[in-house]
Copies of this chain bind each other. A is one copy, B any other.
Amino acid sequence: MDFMVLRLIENALAEDIGAGDVTTDLLVPEGEKGKGYIVAKEGLVVAGTDIACRVFEFLDPMMKVDILAKDGEWVEPGSRVIEASGSMRGLLAGERTALNFLQRLSGIATYTRRCVKELEGTDVRLVDTRKTTPGLRVLEKYAVRVGGAHNHRAGLFDGVLIKDNHIAACGGIRQAIERARGAVHHLLKTEIEVSSLEQVGEAITAGADVVMLDNMDEETIRKAVEIINGRALVEVSGSVKMEDLRRLAKTGVDIISMGSLTHSARAVDLSMRISSKVEESANS
């Protein structure tokens, strides 16, 4: 929701501007106008233009912002992504925060796009994880979708995912799945994490909707897929790297989850060019 994003922007600006932008307050007169372009310094998939625009609007409600390259577009080095014109003070105070959001989200989208390409021609769904930057999950999961992959659950609240400690607390796989299915609300499915073929069998018998194969080798994954045989969705997980994707896809699994989509995507390079504007129009 917009108002949650505004909170993030407010926090980010408060952290950067604090008691004031001392340089700009001293050197740039209050009424001065300017125009700025955010430019890609490398090839990248754009993500986060909306939040970048709101940073400038937040600092100057009169700021005029235009998105020149939409989220999801691939742009070449040198391409202009956003244009903003309005108060010079607003442009200078917002520059770094806008870029910090953009470079991170576009970095995730760009890396995700490359991973998705690895899976072209398959039916496998590439999904993210909860390994996101604290406080930015909604934005980072959005960037994953912009890059062409899918989301896993958004948090602990919108999906049952049973792990070893849950199993231990219930006294077994069957008990855990049955208890969860009997009590959870009727729009949530139940996934269970297993680490052996024996557990795979138990999970299927107990009625799991999704089985997550954790850190198994390809051979075991193949056997698990055979055992499951369409009775549940199959997800593989565990330090998956981009170069593993194609091989994993061939094992017959339905879903591959990959933490590095969000936690290790390199920020891409964008910068802002601002120029003072001889104000032609008269509207103050």
Q: Which A positions have Cβ atoms within 8 angstroms of B?
A: 1-4, 8-24, 26-29, 32, 34, 41, 58-59, 88, 91-93, 96-97, 99-101, 103-104, 107, 125, 127, 130-138, 150-163, 165-166, 168-170, 176, 179-180, 183-191, 209-210, 233, 235, 239, 254-255, 260, 263-264, 266-267, 269, 274-276
Tell me the complex Cα distance, A37–B96, Å.
38
* Inter-chain contacts of A28 with B (CB < 8 A): 165-166, 169
Smallest CB-CB separation from A28: which chain B residue?
B169
Contact A20 B156 (CB under 8 A): yes
Interface centre among A134, A152, A157 (most CB of B within 10 A): A134
Partner of A168, one of B21, B59, B93, B276: B276
Smallest CB-CB separation from A185: which chain B residue?
B151
Contact A18 B16 (CB under 8 A): no
Tell me the complex Cα distance, A97–B135, Å.
10
Contact B1 A17 (CB under 8 A): yes
Ranked 5 nearest A-B pairs via Cβ: A159-B187, A12-B134, A21-B156, A18-B157, A263-B267
Tell me the complex Cα distance, A155–B96, Å.
10
List 18 additional A-B contacts (Cβ < 8 Å) besides A15-B19, A16-B137, A186-B210: A12-B135, A15-B137, A18-B19, A18-B156, A22-B156, A23-B160, A23-B180, A26-B179, A26-B180, A91-B165, A100-B131, A100-B133, A159-B188, A161-B187, A165-B274, A168-B276, A187-B191, A260-B267
Tell me the complex Cα distance, A19–B235, Å.
23
Tell me the complex Cα distance, A233–B184, Å.
14
Tell me the complex Cα distance, A274–B23, Å.
36
Tell me the complex Cα distance, A3–B187, Å.
27
Contact B133 A104 (CB under 8 A): yes
Tell me the complex Cα distance, A15–B190, Å.
21
Tell me the complex Cα distance, A176–B29, Å.
12
Tell me the complex Cα distance, A274–B169, Å.
12
Partner of A155, one of B18, B233, B267: B18
Contact A34 B165 (CB under 8 A): yes
* Inter-chain contacts of A34 with B (CB < 8 A): 165
Interface centre among A8, A12, A160, A186 (most CB of B within 10 A): A186
Smallest CB-CB separation from A11: which chain B residue?
B135
Contact B100 A276 (CB under 8 A): no
A228 to B: closest C-beta gap in Å: 14
Tell me the complex Cα distance, A269–B264, Å.
10
Contact A17 B165 (CB under 8 A): no
